[in-house]
Amino acid sequence: MKPGSWSQRRALVTGATGLIGSWLVKELLARGAHVVALVMDDDPQSQFFRDGDYRRTTVVTGRLEDLAALQRAVNVQEVDTVFHLGAQTLVGPAARAPWETFESNIRGTYNLLEVCRLNSGLVRRVVVASSDKAYGEQPRLPYLETMPLEGRQPYEVSKSCADLLAQSYFRTYRLPVAIARCGNVYGGGDLNWSRIVPGTIRSLLRGERPVLRSDGTHKRDYVFVKDVVQAYLLLAEKLERRGVAGESFNFGPNRPLSVLALVAAISRLLGSRLKPDIRDSARGEILSQYLSSAKAARLLGWRPAYSLEDGLRQTIAWYRTRLAQPRGG
């Protein structure tokens, strides 16, 4: 597939109302693709609905656990490209209700992969969203794609399983699939206020101290959502090249940052001197996890286009605008 040839493509995006999904839909529409969006619920707060992008897409209402809904989205809509982003993405809810997370993230993934296999005459490329969490806790850093997937907590396990399922469908059935393992993705449109970036921005805009669930020393990758969208598109465009199908790719800035350093960067951009409220109540989280993106750079030509400061500036601007609107908070 040639880069820029999306005008002839019909792409399914699961998780279209989520942070990455909503930005991916925007970019696909801008490139002229016909977009099919699998949506579980109409969420008026989601960027996908608030910006009116749903009016320019074919919306299929259904859950990942519903095989018939997925068959309708793929077969009836005759999609040739699938971006599987739909998942339960929060660590806290996964720990409190693991069954729901396993149903969505594991069953939902093998359902979709099976529908793609059954419609192999239509589907030419599949990109599956995994996560750095799929690695679990490793003795060496940064994470490399050759390391084993050893998730232990419920959310980590769900991502390890989804990742392995995608690999299995390639190796067993030659399904044209590639896997994206991203660091912590941030950007405008994330309404999960328990996450550090949107939670900190909202607190500071309200003149409140940002709350840290950890002690602030945890180190993570923070990658801007527009860089992640480009990563997904590159994977799809280059999936037919040798060394891409069946492979996993890490996407991160190669610049790990502590939670305290991230909060300090946001505070500096907002001109705030409020100190964070450090609760140190988080349990079961890995102290440090970050990725090497060398493989993505070598085989895909992917590198982050946005610095942390650039990404945070755009993110802050998005929340300034939306939180000033009546329905934004």
The residues carrying an active-site annotation are 155
Quick one: which H or E segment has residue 61? Answer: strand 58-61
Q: How far apart are CA 147 and CA 319, in angstroms?
A: 37
Do the beta carbons of residue 271 and residue 146 sit within 8 Å? no
Chain centroid to Cα 132, Å, comes to: 11
Residues 6+ apart with CB under 8 A from 2: 237
Contact 39, 8 (CB under 8 A): no
CA angle 50, 54, 57 (to 5 degrees): 155
At residue 165's C-alpha, the angle toward residues 119 and 26, to 5°, is: 65
Q: Residue 178, Cβ neighbours under 10 Å: how many?
A: 23
Dihedral, 105, 160, 191, 286 alpha carbons, nearest 10: 140
E strands, 192-236, in order:
211-212, 219-220, 222-224
Contact 8, 124 (CB under 8 A): no
The string over 214-243, giving b where at least 16 C-beta atoms fall within 10 Å of a residue's C-beta and e elsewhere, is bebebbbbbbbbbbbbbbbbbbbbbbeeee
Q: What does the alpha-carbon distance between residue 291 and residue 328 come to, in Å, rounded to a whole number?
A: 33
Residue with tokens 């020393």: 217
